[in-house]
Amino acid sequence: MYSPTGSIIVLMVSSLAQAQPSAATPAVHPSNGVLELSAKPLLGHDRRPLSSRHEVYLPWGGLVEITIRNVSHGVAVLDEIAAAWEFRFEILDSAGQPVARTELGKRVIDASREGAVNVGLASRFQLVPMQATTLKIDLSNYFKIEPGHAYKVTVRRSEGFPAVDEAGKPLKEVEASCSFDVPDYGLLRSQ
C-alpha cells in the first residue's frame, strides 16, 4: 500500500466485526464528503499463454480492487491497515441470498464477537485533494465464491476515516459505501 508520508505505526484493532454482513443494509453512499469509496471486480492472473486464451469472458474468482479518493478541498488523514477486516462486505447471490463464508471468514467473525485484538502494521497518511490509494482483496478467502455465478457485492468502510470535514465540522455520515454486480457469464478479459 502506498503511503505518502511513509509513517508506520502499530495499531490494535478490537473490532473485526466489520467483515460481517449487516441484517438491514442502508443505501449505498460512495462519498462521505471527504473520502470517496469505489470498488470493482478484477480477474485473477491467467497463467495460460496468450495463444491458448479463447474466451471473451472469464469467471470472477473474488478479486476486488478498492479505491479510496480524497474528494474534499483539504488534506484528508486516513488510518490504513490494508486488510479485509477494515471493510464490511456483503455478497449476495442471484437469488438475493447472502453467500456463505469460508472457515477463515467464520473465524474472523467469531474472533470479533469474542473481542479479539488484532495487532498489525498500519500507516496513517495524508491524501491531498483528488489523490487516491488502492488496495486489492481476494474475497474468496472469506466467502464461498463460485466462478460462473452472479453476485452483488457491497463494500463499506468507516474505520480509520476522518469524522470531520476540512473545515472541522462533523460529518453527517463517516461511512462510505459502494456496490457492483458480477454477471454469471463473468468479466470481459483484457487483451
- The pLDDT tens digits of the residues spanning 3-61 come to 444 433 233 333 333 333 444 455 688 999 999 999 999 987 666 665 666 677 888 99
Per-residue DSSP letter, 184:
T
The string of pLDDT tens digits covering residues 138-185 is: 999 999 999 889 999 999 998 889 999 988 999 999 999 999 999 998
- Evaluate if residue 120 carries a pLDDT over 60: no
Question: Could you identify the residue written with the cell 486464451?
Answer: 53
How distant, in Å, are the alpha carbons of 42, 67, 107 from that of 151? 13, 20, 23
Q: What is the DSSP string of 38-107?
A: EEEEEPPP--S-GGG---SEE---SEEEEEEEE-SSS-EEEEE--SGGGSEEEEEETTSPBPPB-HHHHH
Three-state secondary structure call for residue 188: strand
Per the structure block, which three cell numbers stand in for 125? Answer: 497518511
Average pLDDT over residues 102-120: 66
Q: What share of the chain is helix, strand, coil (3-state, %, to 5)?
A: 10, 40, 50
Range name among 69-83, 89-103, 159-173 with the lowest pLDDT average: 69-83
Which pTM was predicted?
0.77
- Per-residue pLDDT at 51: 64
**For residue 124, what pLDDT is reported?**
81
